[in-house]
Structure 1
Amino acid sequence: CTIIGDVEIGAGSSIWYNCVLRADVSRIVIGERSNVQDGSVLHCDPPRPGDPDGSPLIIGDDVLIGHMAMVHGCTIESRGFVGLGAIVMNKAVIGADAMLAAGAMLTEGKVMAPRELWGGRPARKMRDLDEAAIMGMRIGTAHYAENAKHHAAAVAAALM
């Protein structure tokens, strides 16, 4: 993976193969135990006239970002889920325990409330998530946290 600029990665988080985290114009903050899966691109936008904060990328704890996602200058609250190949644009917000479906596009400034499922291009609310769906997301996040430990151990052993 390629990581440049002002990037903060929390304890237990994992960035998988062929990801790009580019914080050359603003910051990227990733909370604890989150995972960014293979081939995802994370970026942000700089401050501009009328927008002094720009669009940093803020990712909470226990977030799962699926393979080949494009996540740009947005906020993903703790336990949020971004499906495979989904796109999240500047100043959008994915609420806690919310899921953006695979292939969906959450356009600029859209806000997903906690525990909602959104899908489509552009993304729209499909339904509220039940406990079974939320538990499924948590299992996925725990799986990636454990898998990251195995990969780290294998890489360390190979370097010995």
Structure 2
Amino acid sequence: MPVHRFNGVEPRIAEDAFVAPGAQIIGDVELHDGASVWYNCVLRADVQTIVVGARSNIQDGSVVHVTRKTHGTFIGEDCLIGHMAMIHGCTLQDHSFVGLGAIVMDACVIETDAMLAAGAMLTPGKVIPSGELWAGRPAKFFSKMTSAQIERNRAGAAGYVDLAQMHRAEAGD
């Protein structure tokens, strides 16, 4: 497994978490039960902490980092982080969704059941309130999420838990 101690701190990975080949987990990283980190992701917690909650997934090619002395990165439970996203020194509350190629910058918060659209950039210190969809560069309010959209996002997170276990089985972990 591509797990690296940094400055005397070893990543802590739940027994049933999935870390795909090619991913790099460095330093003060905590992956909770059922979390998944997909192919070619980098989670680098060299100067602050990264926590990935239960059943959350960080999809292929994404980067998760922190800000020295000021902001760790805290990802709640059942979160979806799309392919090639950049997550930096921020908080993603339970059931939040970050779209493909989106950027979440320092001191941002994406609240429960909120979504940042694909390709969007959430600039430092912004908060996406619960149940809202933001889009654009820089990201702005786009619409309220419907109950169907929220349910689809929640089902997507659950689907990734199952998919991660299938990949684990194929890899023989």
> Shorter-chain TM-score: what band?
over 0.9
Letter paired with 1:60: G
Report the Cα offset of residue 142 of structure 1: 1.0
How many corresponding residue pairs?
A: 151
How far, CA to CA, are the matches of 1:141 and 1:123 in structure 2?
23
Report the Cα offset of residue 46 of structure 1: 1.3
**Partner of residue 149, structure 1:** 165
| Deviations 1:36-94 (CA, angstroms, capped at 9, x unpaired) | 000000000111xxxxxx11000000000000000000000000000000000000000
Identity %: 56
**Partner of residue 44, structure 2:** 22
Q: Does 1:38 align with 2:60?
A: yes
3-state DSSP of counterpart to 1:147: helix
Structure 2, unaligned runs of 5 or more:
1-22
Structure 1, unaligned runs of 5 or more:
48-53
Report the Cα offset of residue 24 of structure 1: 0.3
**Partner of residue 25, structure 2:** 3
TM-score (norm 1): 0.93
How far, CA to CA, are the matches of 1:106 and 1:82 in structure 2?
10
3-state DSSP of counterpart to 2:170: helix
**Partner of residue 50, structure 1:** none
Alignment of 1:58-73 (within 5 A): 58-73=74-89
TM-score (norm 2): 0.86
**Partner of residue 138, structure 1:** 154
**Partner of residue 51, structure 1:** none
3-state DSSP of counterpart to 1:22: strand
Q: Does 1:108 align with 2:124?
A: yes
